[in-house]
Amino acid sequence: MMPGSMTSRPAPTPFHTVGLIGRYQTEGVIDTLRDIATVLRERGVRVLVETQTGLAAGGEPFAELAAMEAIGDIAELAIAVGGDGTMLGVTRALAQHDISLLGINYGRLGFITDIPLEQWRGALSAILDGEFTAEHRSLLCVRVERAGERVWDALALNDIVVSRSSRAGMIELQVEVDGTYMYNQRADGLIIATPTGSTAYALSANGPILHPQLAGIVMVPVAPHALSNRPICLPDDARIRIRVIEGREPRVSGDMQVFSELQIDDDIVIERAPFQARFVHPFGYSYFATLRSKLNWHELPFLNERT
């Protein structure tokens, strides 16, 4: 090297090991993950790829294979490429590991995979430079108790739904909050949602939108028999117990991805998880911009002067 000459070195990044997870069944996702892995290596970052995602690439995996548990233990950042469903699954698996989560949208809606596919390079570069904000999202723990024994448990970022079979009539549920009887509800189902999940199934059932930084849980009946039964917001430290009183083929789901069949007199116990998910966003992220985009809210320029 000539005297006085300089070599270009990657700028330091707060993330030294990054895990990649993708909806590998979707055409183009593996190619995007390969490109992301290349960008990360150019910055001196160790790259792990979730085992099934890496094997789906065929031939030699494009990064070091690692189980989801290992990604949670080793990496500081996990990048999910897919739709909101992919991000929900990744969050449930990794949130308890205190790892940062980033979603790149390869789906249709993209409430929580908020980086558009065509913008991932700029967004990732900024985040690797430390130019990002972090926010924490609450999760729910749910368990099913049958004759005093736990028979099923799960985590949910969006919601817990107790519902009837699509082939059956209404379901009747008895609801208690913090040990106090609330009501008996006859409906097609009952949704218990986090603020994150308030824009999912709960919204389609006429529930309110809760800002993700609110400390609350929303309970929304689905097609209730009594029209006076309305959505209600509860403190986020509430402990909710739902008993199945009547109904054919009842079931409970978490994020509409994990399911358990229920029996009459089963109790479904729901409470806030003892940990939170940590999402990272490039500077300029706006929750309200996401709502405007995804819900097609009419947008007008802000007026700084009185008229």
Which pLDDT score is estimated for 184? Answer: 96
Least confident range from 108-112, 193-197, 240-244, 269-273: namely 108-112
pLDDT for residue 4 is more than 50: no
98 assigned to active site: no
Question: What stretch(es) of the chain map to CATH 2.60.200.30?
Answer: 139-274
Which pLDDT score is estimated for 304? Answer: 53
The CATH number given to 17-131+283-295 is 3.40.50.10330
Q: Is 193 helix (H, G, I), strand (E, B) or coil?
A: strand
Q: What is the mean pLDDT of the chain?
A: 91
**Short-list 18, 31, 212, 15, CA closest to 117:** 31
Q: What is the pLDDT of residues 212-254, one digit of tens each?
A: 999 999 999 999 998 888 999 999 999 999 999 999 899 999 9
* Calpha distance 69→63 (Å, rounded): 16
Which pLDDT score is estimated for 214? Answer: 93
Of 84, 159, 255, 267, catalytic: 84
CA angle 80, 211, 118 (to 5 degrees): 35
Q: What is the pLDDT of residues 37-91, one digit of tens each?
A: 999 999 999 999 999 999 998 888 899 999 999 999 999 999 999 999 999 999 9
* Calpha distance 272→240 (Å, rounded): 10
pTM over 0.85: yes
* Calpha distance 49→69 (Å, rounded): 12
**Short-list 242, 228, 232, 224, CA closest to 177:** 242
Superfamily covering domain 139-274: Probable inorganic polyphosphate/atp-NAD kinase; domain 2 (2.60.200.30)
* Calpha distance 98→6 (Å, rounded): 38
Which pLDDT score is estimated for 12? Answer: 66
* Calpha distance 251→162 (Å, rounded): 6
Work out the pLDDT band at 116, boundaries 50, 70, 90.
very high
Which pLDDT score is estimated for 59? Answer: 80
Work out the pLDDT band at 302, boundaries 50, 70, 90.
low
Q: What angle, 0 to 180 degrees and rounded to 10, lies between the N-to-C axes of helices 29-42 and 120-128? A: 30
Question: What stretch(es) of the chain map to CATH 3.40.50.10330?
Answer: 17-131+283-295
- Cα 148 to chain centroid distance, Å, stands at 30
Work out the pLDDT band at 293, boundaries 50, 70, 90.
confident
Cα–Cα distance list, 60 to 35, 55, 64, 120 (Å): 15, 8, 10, 25
DSSP code string of 200-237: THHHHTTPPP--TTS-EEEEEEES-SSTT---EEEETT
Beta strands 100-105 and 77-82 are parallel
* Calpha distance 185→82 (Å, rounded): 36
Q: What is the pLDDT of residues 129-173, one digit of tens each?
A: 999 999 999 999 999 999 999 999 999 999 999 998 777 789 999
pLDDT for residue 107 is more than 80: no
